[in-house]
Structure 1
Amino acid sequence: MTRTISEKRQAFRALHEDGCFVLPNPWDVGSARYLASMGFKALATTSSGFAWSIGRPDNGVSRDAVIAHLREMVHATDLPVNADFESGFGSNPAEVAQSVRMAVDAGVAGLSVEDSTGDAKSPLLPVNAAVERLAAARRAIDETGGDTLLVGRAENFVAGVPDLEDVIARLRAYAQAGADCLYAPGIQTREQIEAVVAAVRPKPVNLLIGGPSAFTLDELAKLGVRRVSVGGALARAAWGGLVASVQSLAEGRFDSLSKEPSGGWLNSVFKDPA
């Protein structure tokens, strides 16, 4: 069964209506197809994972390259794809709107817009400026059919400003500006999660689990989390295996080269269906 872009978007929105689902983050077509084979219901791109795969740092990839990547990922599987769209690829709301239209045209089922600046001296946009950019993204989506899901992100905890009150104020403002789903990467404790969920209810909340965690999906569901993504964690895991093997090669040894997964197994994953 091949779903249309509209059908993918409808399925993605339905996932946000109740329950809690894992939204894993592939970084290329191969990882996307493997994750799809494992029964996940949707995927999300990772800006960091994609950047590393082409030899660039996170937030160091051009808009054109990201749009081409999104188009490729959308067509890699039959699953809805949520775009890690960084800060919207625009220096002002009008440019953000233009970029969002391009992402929608690429076929994504959802996209997120961040409020970080990349400037260590002033790591977050003023709330009003961030709201204007998100509202511009909302208008762009509405003008292109309105079925692409918009995610508003408060980057405080990953930008070095771990102020939960400010996170909540920002997320509420982003919800008012038209965000369908809210996201505060970096929150970790039960208390932080409960506070964010309560603050934006009934809108769904995305939680980032970027490393080992004692939480289970069932526990997060009970806390009110609607979806769980892992950011660049899967890409880092892949790089970890590569780094370990390459280190032995650099030392003139071959004992760290893994036989698993086998080439035969990988071929079976990517074999075209009959």
Structure 2
Amino acid sequence: MPNAWDAPSALLFKEAGFASIATSSAAFAATLGRLDGIHAVSRDEHLDHAALLTSVSGLPINGDFEDGYGDTPEDVRATVDAAIARGLAGIGIEDTTGDPAQPIRGFDDAVRRIEAAAKAARGRIVLTGRTDNFLWGIADLDDTIRRLTAFAEAGADVVYAPNLPDLAAVSAVVEAVAPKPVNLLVGPSDGVSLQELQTIGVRRISLGVDPYTHALGAIRAAAANLETGDLTALASDLTFGHIISLIRS
């Protein structure tokens, strides 16, 4: 499930044959010149962004909605209701706080927020319960599994822990939450194959910010060559006419 950051990137993923697409809160924030994970992007902005990808691509869109946007479980439930009203197919809720000094919510608070989200989500939208322990440098596999198991029991349809350290940890998560499906963040430097992940039971793969940084990497390389006077640096087999044709279709 690749993560798009604007309408053309969503259309290119659709053209490639993907059946569903996710947003990336980090990539979207970056397109606005903001940082992810500190409530710098509002709920309405992300709703508008995800709804745009839905309407443009016609594909099911999973929204990466940080902590659910709000201080209380009732706020999270309202966010899920709003996502459903805007036509999203899925929504992810993290156990983060938006405060880098204390980035992860307490266990009970995190579970209550997933419970509230699940009450709104059931039968209407796919809910992913996510813990960001390892993403924030909290290398506690036991607590990560405890949280994901609780999220599954609270009604999450999928569970997700970015930046698990190795395949043994991934396998432990898969076994602990079975039969609930596990989403895994995979990057180009992880050195794992799709077959390996399928063998240990991973059911869904996200790409996070990597598609966006891949595109920016191409721009950076071209910019460096342009600065030296190479006017061919922007040569590409993708034309703007092709993007227009995708939008028209």
| TM-score (norm. length: structure 2) | 0.93
1:184 aligns with 2:177: no
How far apart are the structure 2 equivalents of 1:72 and 1:148? 17
Question: For 2:52, which of 67, 72, 93 is the aligned residue?
Answer: 72
Q: Which string of whole-angstrom CA distances, capped at 9 and with x for unpartnered residues, describes residues 200-221 of structure 1?
A: 0000000001332321111110
Any conservation in 2 of the 1:48–1:57 contact (CA below 8 Å)?
yes
Q: How many residues align?
A: 247
Partner of residue 193, structure 1: 170
| Structure 1 unaligned spans of 5+ | 1-22
- Give the 5 Å matches for 1:8-19: none
| TM-score (norm. length: structure 1) | 0.85
Partner of residue 3, structure 2: 25
Any conservation in 2 of the 1:87–1:113 contact (CA below 8 Å)?
yes
1:58 aligns with 2:36: yes
1:89 aligns with 2:69: yes
1:121 aligns with 2:97: no
| Secondary structure class of the residue paired with 1:75 | helix
How far apart are the structure 1 equivalents of 2:145 and 2:171? 11
How far apart are the structure 2 equivalents of 1:264 and 1:64? 30
Any conservation in 1 of the 2:11–2:247 contact (CA below 8 Å)?
no
Partner of residue 223, structure 1: 200
How far apart are the structure 2 equivalents of 1:83 and 1:271? 21
Instruction: Mark the CA change 1:267 to 1:120 in structure 2 (over 3 Å): closer, same or farther.
Output: closer
| Secondary structure class of the residue paired with 2:56 | coil
In structure 2, give the amino acid aligned to 1:212. S
In structure 2, give the amino acid aligned to 1:155. D
Partner of residue 84, structure 2: 104
- Give the 5 Å matches for 1:127-146: 127-142=107-122, 146=123
Q: Which string of whole-angstrom CA distances, capped at 9 and with x for unpartnered residues, describes residues 71-102 of structure 1?
A: 11111223211110110001111111111111
Instruction: Mark the CA change 1:196 to 1:122 in structure 2 (over 3 Å): closer, same or farther.
Output: same
How far apart are the structure 1 equivalents of 2:138 and 2:24? 22
Any conservation in 2 of the 1:153–1:182 contact (CA below 8 Å)?
yes
How far apart are the structure 1 equivalents of 2:241 and 2:189? 27
1:43 aligns with 2:21: yes
How far is 1:254 from its partner? Answer: 3.0
In structure 2, give the amino acid aligned to 1:174. F
Any conservation in 2 of the 1:152–1:179 contact (CA below 8 Å)?
yes
For CA contacts below 8 A with separation 6 or more, give which structure has more relative contact order.
1
How far apart are the structure 1 equivalents of 2:245 and 2:214? 19
Any conservation in 1 of the 2:84–2:124 contact (CA below 8 Å)?
no
How far apart are the structure 2 equivalents of 1:265 and 1:194? 45
How far is 1:270 from its partner? Answer: 1.8
Any conservation in 2 of the 1:181–1:203 contact (CA below 8 Å)?
yes
How far apart are the structure 2 equivalents of 1:201 and 1:269? 43
Question: For 2:126, which of 118, 129, 149 is the aligned residue?
Answer: 149
Question: For 1:241, which of 186, 209, 218 is the aligned residue?
Answer: 218
How far apart are the structure 1 equivalents of 2:15 and 2:245? 8
CA RMSD of aligned residues (A): 1.8
Any conservation in 2 of the 1:204–1:225 contact (CA below 8 Å)?
yes
Partner of residue 237, structure 2: 261
